[in-house]
Structure 1
């Protein structure tokens, strides 16, 4: 995903990227999910379980096909899928395509023909996924997608409330900078959530002429490192205090890179606002010397849990909505404890609505509050 002059090239290079996320490397070639997400630590999570009389759903084999598995966000998302699949008595295999859409389509085809009972997809484009998803549906294999603009009858698509997330974050930034100033935008085209976030960004900028965008960039290729490098160049171009008021980062990988560049330059008067949240992000936000002061997000583990629940509803024979919107919450440094560091498992103690979503828990399911 690229941005500005350079970014446009990367958007093309990413060849129709499909969305935003974050993290470390994912399991490939059927690698178990725990290799990607690490040991699941449910904390106070709410997990669906198989209700009485649903023994026929035990032992289901689930495939998770990912466009990429980069960053802590993706690792935590995979961990959420894994713990929910296992709580429902199934097994999970993860296939990550390294941001190669052709490879993602190939892995999807392999899953359709590989004896899986259900398929989850993470990101991707309609062009890359539609043929494989239709094959799955024709074979009676249920599919639930996350952050892809798919429109295939019988398929449920999950997405975050991207336009609203973007709007709320921009309003928070506006409040903090006093309604005026110069900002840097980090964004990339070609991903469904990014495109939705851009809608709110454009409307906001049109409505706030005293806030000026002085630079924009972004890429999906090593996003945190590329952002750091490009932000360092922009800080040299605008060297004086007051030249830049804030950075609006449409993905937490972008926010991490911008934060590191600003810290290293000693320019912490510049504030960073991000979208999405992981344990790594939270550590940066809690640092009182960090420019990253707020982020809006859905718990990535909850995304994985909810997506899995809808897949199991389909396996149960339930009718499910075509689109499910996951509501986000704002996380600000001011709301976090000053006397200790916390992780996202503990974040729900301080941020209402974090980490305990009950979306997708059907009446026939049991539940386990961990």
Structure 2
């Protein structure tokens, strides 16, 4: 009996020692939430990065009837929507007073960003200042840049003006003859091209400027066609006009149409933009001989990329951003 009692006591002692030894091993049971390590100070208040998704963007222009302006607006809209942005596209059909009003509307509606397309910010400076004061970022596409804006995606318009003017004066005109200029100086890009033309013609004493004509927008093709028809009447002698220099492609198209209708196939026409209709006329062997193709897709993508960077909290280098351009002649 004593022997049996001793065996039982030994077993109980062994079990007791085993239980004590097990407490030294790490537990596989998760710690209760109340015992979890506290979060770093401020972690719980840090919002998750939302990026561009859901941001409200207003794209505003006064000239959606322009082929290239329409192209840029649609490419930007598609790119922004792909990133999850909500886009409103506004066209005021040449009315800058209405454009100014719609910018104010966008600020009141608390847009997350505004994009102005193919317009001079100087004409809407007070309304843009309202946006700056409200903290609404303003981007430009084929527009000018003014202090307070984020960026303006464009081409180096002065360099393009130099490129097409040099090609016209030297390669097409041979350094002599007469030229008509069709311009639209309210547009900041066209102004830069015109300034290149103004500077360069001084170096060609055997080239004479007959006249510079302002082309109204909207309707630049039809308006330039009418201007050219009148100029043909006042310069009716063959070879009285050597060339027509156009600040962008739509006046070049209108001038070409008028010259072709009048049988004035000796007159050379040049443009700038790389408009598909202009390129087609060049390849058909019409009066239109050359243009400089702007990279509108590149400009549009610059704006989309910079918006995404902004909404992801990245730093934006302010100022003009250039997309490269190319001289286009007959294939």
TM-score (norm 2): 0.79
Residue 292 of structure 2 is aligned to residue 286 of structure 1 = no
Residue 271 of structure 2 is aligned to residue 274 of structure 1 = yes
Q: Is the 8 A contact 1:78 1:301 kept in 2?
A: no
Deviation at 1:129, TM superposition (A): 2.9
Residue 136 of structure 2 is aligned to residue 141 of structure 1 = yes
TM-score (norm 1): 0.71
Q: Is the 8 A contact 1:72 1:280 kept in 2?
A: no
- Alignment match, 1:165: 160
Instruction: Give the counterpart of 1:73 among 42, 58, 68.
Output: 68
Residue 75 of structure 2 is aligned to residue 99 of structure 1 = no
- SS of equivalent to 2:190: helix
- SS of equivalent to 1:207: coil
- SS of equivalent to 2:73: helix
- SS of equivalent to 2:250: helix
Gaps of 5+ in 2: 1-47
- Alignment match, 1:301: 297
- Alignment match, 1:32: none
| d(CA) in 2 for partners of 1:112, 1:128 | 17
- Alignment match, 2:36: none
Instruction: Give the counterpart of 2:310 among 309, 314, 317.
Output: 314
In structure 2, the CA distance between the partners of 1:202 and 1:154, relative to structure 1 (3 Å rule), is closer
How many equivalent residue pairs?
Answer: 281
- SS of equivalent to 1:214: strand
Q: Is the 8 A contact 1:185 1:249 kept in 2?
A: yes
- SS of equivalent to 2:163: helix
- Alignment match, 1:15: none
Across the aligned residues of Structure 1 and Structure 2, the Cα RMSD in angstroms comes to 2.0
Structure whose CA Rg is larger: 2
Aligned runs of 1:111-126 on 2, under 5 Å? 111-126=106-121
- Alignment match, 1:19: none
Instruction: Give the counterpart of 1:197 among 173, 183, 193.
Output: 193
Q: Is the 8 A contact 1:143 1:311 kept in 2?
A: no
- SS of equivalent to 1:186: strand
Instruction: Give the counterpart of 1:88 among 76, 83, 86.
Output: 83
| d(CA) in 1 for partners of 2:273, 2:295 | 8
- Deviations along 1:77-126, one digit per CA (max 9) or x if unpaired, are 11211221123222321111222221111101111122422211113334
| d(CA) in 2 for partners of 1:73, 1:153 | 26
- Alignment match, 1:217: 213
- SS of equivalent to 2:271: strand
* Structure number having the greater helix percentage: 2
- Alignment match, 2:248: 251
- SS of equivalent to 1:56: coil
Residue 225 of structure 2 is aligned to residue 228 of structure 1 = yes
Deviation at 1:213, TM superposition (A): 1.1
In structure 2, the CA distance between the partners of 1:299 and 1:54, relative to structure 1 (3 Å rule), is farther
| d(CA) in 1 for partners of 2:176, 2:271 | 19
Deviation at 1:252, TM superposition (A): 1.3
